Structure 1
């Protein structure tokens, strides 16, 4: 009878191993949250002389025709004689910081001049 019990135990063991035994639980990985922010960009353009235009893109911008565009604090002037803006268009326009200077050209090819920032306005030799 011992032989039967041994045979039965071997057979039962083989059946349990053949069935794969107890299944392992799958590992659960929590989802990763990715925070993202987006900031809309705006584009500003200014007309310049001779049909040219200047433009820029940023989160904030402003434009003054025949003078310049400013995006995120960076100013791009209209190209003119020797890449200087016209004195007549700068004169009286807003500027910063006080005491800064910029070369300029006179309309009609009258040569070069300059502007000085005083009290928030360009003061130009016209």
Structure 2
């Protein structure tokens, strides 16, 4: 198959020269370049962990490791899970502070600790 291709290219080159065209140079080199490419290609790996707040983190690189539920590291770069949130469907205390209310108290989140906002004079105070 290679010989047929080379022969076809040679005939095309001779035809062009007969018509006043320039000579075609054909260079076939399949050896070392293919080997070098195969040696320089590395497969990437992905690490992933589920975080306590219901999300996950991941990274991709040549090397990776995981500390389950805490962090992933790819190519020496460490990625941490975000801080845990309060249990339940609590809103953040800072988001509730100053919002209008009727009476009573409402649970809220201060980072990863549950707290309370108190309804004082029609506004939450947290």
Is the structural similarity TM-score above 0.5?
Answer: no
Answer with 1 or 2: which has the greater Rg: 1
Length-normalised TM-score, structure 2: 0.41
Length-normalised TM-score, structure 1: 0.41
